[in-house]
Structure 1
Amino acid sequence: MVLELHTDCITVDSPGRGTIDVTAQLQHVVAESGVRNGLAQVFLRHTSASLVISENADPDVRRDLDAFLARLVPDGDGLYQHVAEGPDDMPAHVRAALTQTSVGVPVRDGRCAFGTWQALYLWEHRLAAHRRQLDVTVVGRR
């Protein structure tokens, strides 16, 4: 059995803290790969943002996730020594460490096999805008 391997990079300009739907960009990379059945692995090259598969129908879900993390890991907490880039610096790193920077998504019939209400989001944990890079590796059979 011969497996195909395709790599690409998705660039996302985040306006600041919150979630950004990157599902369409990932579906585009998978389509370009020609892989019909396999796996799309997405890796975020940053330590103050993360990836999350979440509900795509009600934006309140993502707002509630943000509110939960804000309560769990507040900006400006005196606990942190690493504040070189401001009061959201270390909290952003903690939030990323508590979530994930890599996800695998099955590929079926040339598309990511998300559930009906699922989408992939870049979760920006910094308050300021950032340019984020996602490495995508698609492996499978044509």
Structure 2
Amino acid sequence: MSTQQFEFTVDTRDRGTYDLTAMLAERLAACAVDTGLCHVFVCHTSASLMLCENADPDVRRDLETLMSRMIPDGDPMFVHRNEGPDDMPAHARSVLTGSELTVPVRAGRLALGTWQGVYLWEHRSHGQRRRVIVTVLGG
């Protein structure tokens, strides 16, 4: 069993989803692991990771609409606003959606379903540089 780890950054433009699937697949291929696990972690409290449909972008837009309705920017119930009206909502969104994912590795590839992709979900309304750490375990 081997363990390999790498890190990369994602420069986001604004709130929304950023597909990491191809980058993860490329890096995984270089690890030469046949069977194992790929653990992905985002090192931030106002962005998250999600496994989501990759065929129709309307799914991700609808999820953003849902999240905006559930946790609107500038809601007066929030006290924490150090970095603006989207600050606390971004933290709440991140807690609800999660900062890590684990995907099985089979035959040297991410064992994703037919319509699944791995996405970074930026919850701030302006661009950020996001660090992502990936740990691959297997043999």
TM over 0.5: yes
Please list the CA deviations of residues 77-96 of structure 1 after superposition, one character each: whole Å capped at 9, or x if unmatched.
00111101000000000000
Question: What's the counterpart of residue 47 of structure 1?
Answer: 45
Q: Distance in 2 between matches of 1:45 and 1:67?
A: 24
Q: CA RMSD in A?
A: 0.5
Q: Distance in 1 between matches of 2:32 and 2:7?
A: 16
* 1:29 CA displacement: 1.6
Q: Distance in 2 between matches of 1:76 and 1:60?
A: 25
Question: What's the counterpart of residue 95 of structure 1?
Answer: 93
Unaligned runs of 5+ in 2: none
**What's the TM-score once normalised by structure 2's chain length?**
0.99
Write out the 4+ residue segments of structure 1 that deviate beyond 4 Å after TM superposition. none
Unaligned runs of 5+ in 1: none
**What's the TM-score once normalised by structure 1's chain length?**
0.96
Q: Percent identity?
A: 53
- Contact 1:16–1:124 (CA under 8 A) maintained in structure 2: yes
Q: Distance in 2 between matches of 1:29 and 1:55?
A: 21
Please list the CA deviations of residues 7-33 of structure 1 after superposition, one character each: whole Å capped at 9, or x if unmatched.
001211111100000001111121111
- Contact 1:51–1:100 (CA under 8 A) maintained in structure 2: yes
Question: What's the counterpart of residue 67 of structure 1?
Answer: 65
How many aligned positions are there? 139
Residues 1:22 and 2:20 are matched in the alignment: yes
